Amino acid sequence: MSMQNNESVPKRLLALGIVALVLFGALGTRMWFLQAVGSRDVEEVIGKVRTRTIKLLPERGRIFDSGGRVMADNKRTLVVTIDRDVVRKPAERLALAQRLSGPLNVPVEVLLVRMQDERYGPFESIPLREDVSEEAALFLMERVEDYPGIFVREEWRRNYPYGALAGHVLGYLGAILKGNLAYYKSVGYDPNERVGQYGVEETYETALRGEPGFVRYEVDAVGNILRLIERVEPIAGNDLQLSIDLKVQQFAEQALETQLLVRRRIEAGQVKLPDGTLDPQYAEVNYYKAPAGSVVVMNHNSGRVVAMASYPRFDIRWFGGGLPKDKFSQLFPQTDDPDLSILVNRAISGRYNVGSSFKPLVAYAALNSGQLPEGAKYTFDDRGTYKLQSIPDDRCQQGVKCVFRNSICRATGAPCRYGAVDVEAALAVSSDTFFYKIGEQILTERGYAPVLENEVRQFGLGSPTNIDLPYEYAGTIPSKELKKRLADIGAISQESGKAYYVGDQVLFSIGQGLLSATPIQMAQAYSAIANGGRLYEPRVAVALLAPGTLDARPGFVDFGTTEVVKRLVSIKPSRRINMTTAIREPIVKGMARVITGPGVNFDYYHKTTGENIFRGYDYAKLPIAGKTGTAQGLNNLPWNDSSAFGAFSLDSSQPYTAFAYLEKAGYGSQAAAPVVKCIFSALAGNYRYDEVLPADPLDKASFDVAPTSSLRNPLCLVGGSSDVRE
């Protein structure tokens, strides 16, 4: 049969040919798109897939105190990890978990849970067990065939030899919080890394961490290593030298805690009705609660913080990881009661009324702003009460508070009367009326300009000190804006928030009312008085050191083996305040009289607020000047009084300023002043410091968040106290 005469044959063949062309065209186009267009994106993906990169974590920088004591150390641990690929299938997962359970000494169920940990990405290896012994690690590595995808990784575990000592300053490490994840990723962190979450561990996180290195292997689909491509060694983090002297730090913590424990056993004053009988509203006997407190010691010529104690303390090692959630919440209860919160460094976060300890700054404001024409010679006749001059009598009769009193003197049962006092004497006996008057006049005679506010702001109050610790509180300074802001958030009534009254100003001038400051701010401000007007940013860290500082002996490093990479303490002050001798002298003299006396004679001899407590103090050895303060607490009840005391050395070879604040612990002279007195006694060399010893191993069964730390010899706390609530 011949076909040449049949016309339709080529047509059908043509159809087949066209189909072929179309299909080949499709293949060709697809290939073009894959190879020419998509090839670049794919290259990167493949790089990841066919190689296996294992991060080599650097050793974190160590932290030393000023004397070279190792406060934060690292321990090398071995971590066994597994590839997600080999445990993807449930059956294989189970089989592997059963085989690994023995060598790792972890129950099968726990391993199964860890193998499915969703926190780790598809190309990340999953840690199965930390702290594996060398033998167990070797056992696994020698049997790679039996344990596919298993890897042993070297890691560093943070170790804090001194436990709770300086815990609030050191801080701790923890998992990256969700809110910070984006930031840490942007600077090259892995989401599962542990980072500093408190204290200097947080502030200097990136410097302490160092640079991770990596090993990159070429692997096949099963994960078998074919060859080593690249190994980049990690760079250890910078070591950190603190200005904290653990000897002084330990002493400060001991003095603070001992004093708080003592104050808890003291009866507070009673509340009496006008007829002299006890107010039945309250219990007959009320002890001070003395729940918390803090003390700061800093070098006022550089801003270096020598000691910074905050009570309650906590053992940093609780944050070492592996603490069950319920145990954690038992140790660190979530509470709305500020008295109970542990994880607050009160030295930098305490929102405190500082009471009369604020008066030196008001005195400065009056002198520096020219409010007192005769300066130091200006006197005011203190008769125990002060009636506001700027408010007409008729308004006073309508109920506006116009009369402000001094504290009650026990001898007379009436507001103390000090007679004619100048700035110096007013500070020495803490005359309120003197400062009421200054406070009122500096406002009313200056056209209601915020002169006092601006003057005290020079000392850094009302703004953060920029200390190198996280969670610093900026403090508040009473002003129209502050009142409006407080009214807006409902902290004070809308009515009260409308304006800034003279009444606000006179409370401000004695450190009460809406003024709030932190102990570190007060220490900074006192330092500026002490050093003649130089304001230094406080620092707890002195310098970043080159990695790998060597030990001189166990627990101590030799700073000679390293070099400073970056100084953290500035030599220059951040601000200079006008502090002429004419201004400074009366203030310093007045504050020195607080310690040494004399007080004033009017009616009878009035001691200064610190005269009694500092009677046994070795002033000749280390002369100091200070000021007491008592902050009124809730409902102005005696047992709610908080105690403040600040002092600075007048000896230029020991340029220290200390500020202590003890919550709900009594008058300034009763609770805080003894602590500061102890500290200066110790700095003067009149106390043999306890040796700074590594803490006992953390008892994980214990429910003490930190062991008690008390003074071996609490005699320095003892001394008569003033009977004036100042």
Tell which positions 180-239 bind another protein, by CB under 8 A. Answer: 218-222, 224, 226
Q: Are 82 and 168 in contact (CB under 8 A)?
A: no
Tell which positions 243-262 bind another protein, by CB under 8 A. Answer: none
Residue 37 CB, shortest distance to another protein, in Å, is 9
Which of 643, 73, 120, 653 has the alpha carbon at shortest distance from 316? 73
Question: Of 14-22, 261-269, 438-446, 512-520, which part binds another protein (CB under 8 A)?
Answer: 14-22
Q: Is 48 in the site for another protein (CB under 8 A)?
A: no
Task: Measure the CA–CA gap between 638 and 661, rounded to whole angstroms.
Answer: 16
Q: Are 681 and 716 in contact (CB under 8 A)?
A: yes
Q: Are 620 and 595 in contact (CB under 8 A)?
A: no
Residue 168 in 3-state DSSP? helix
Cα–Cα separations (whole angstroms), residue 617 to 458, 527, 624: 32, 21, 10
Task: Measure the CA–CA gap between 26 and 34, rounded to whole angstroms.
Answer: 12
Nearer to another protein, 3 or 701 (CB): 3
Task: Measure the CA–CA gap between 145 and 128, rounded to whole angstroms.
Answer: 18
Question: Of 46-54, 259-267, 538-546, 687-695, which part binds another protein (CB under 8 A)?
Answer: 46-54
Q: Is 27 in the site for another protein (CB under 8 A)?
A: yes
Instruction: Give burial (CB, 10 Å; 0-12/13-18/19+) of 23.
Output: exposed
> Per-residue x/- marks for another protein, 77-116, CB under 8 A?
-----------x----------------------------
Task: Measure the CA–CA gap between 259 and 271, rounded to whole angstroms.
Answer: 24
**What one-letter code names the amino acid at 218?**
E
Question: Of 24-32, 529-537, 572-580, 591-599, which part binds another protein (CB under 8 A)?
Answer: 24-32
Tell me the torsion sign for CA atoms 326, 330, 332, 336: positive
Radius of gyration of the chain (CA): 34
Tally of residues, the chain: 726
Nearer to another protein, 219 or 362 (CB): 219
By CB under 8 A, name the one of 46, 232, 449, 718 that touches another protein: 46
> Per-residue x/- marks for another protein, 49-68, CB under 8 A?
xx------------------
Residue 213 CB, shortest distance to another protein, in Å, is 23
Q: Is 144 in the site for another protein (CB under 8 A)?
A: no
Buried b / exposed e across 551-578, counting CB within 10 Å, b at 16+? eeeebebebeebeeeeebbeeebeeebe
Residue 476 CB, shortest distance to another protein, in Å, is 54
Q: Is 28 in the site for another protein (CB under 8 A)?
A: yes
Nearer to another protein, 211 or 218 (CB): 218
Site residue total, another protein (CB under 8 A) = 40
By CB under 8 A, name the one of 26, 181, 565, 582 that touches another protein: 26
Q: Is 284 in the site for another protein (CB under 8 A)?
A: no
Q: Is 34 in the site for another protein (CB under 8 A)?
A: yes
Task: Measure the CA–CA gap between 158 and 154, rounded to whole angstroms.
Answer: 13
Residue 152 CB, shortest distance to another protein, in Å, is 22
Q: Is 45 in the site for another protein (CB under 8 A)?
A: yes
Q: Are 583 and 367 in contact (CB under 8 A)?
A: yes
Residue 312 CB, shortest distance to another protein, in Å, is 49
Nearer to another protein, 3 or 187 (CB): 3
Ordered alpha helix ranges (H), 332-473:
346-349, 359-368, 393-397, 423-429, 432-444, 451-457
**What one-letter code names the amino acid at 355?**
G
Residue 553 CB, shortest distance to another protein, in Å, is 52
Token pair belonging to 89: 């299938």
Nearer to another protein, 144 or 582 (CB): 144
Contact footprint for another protein (CB under 8 A):
1, 3, 6, 8-10, 12-13, 15-17, 19-20, 23-24, 26-28, 30-32, 34-36, 38-39, 42-43, 45-46, 49-50, 88, 218-222, 224, 226
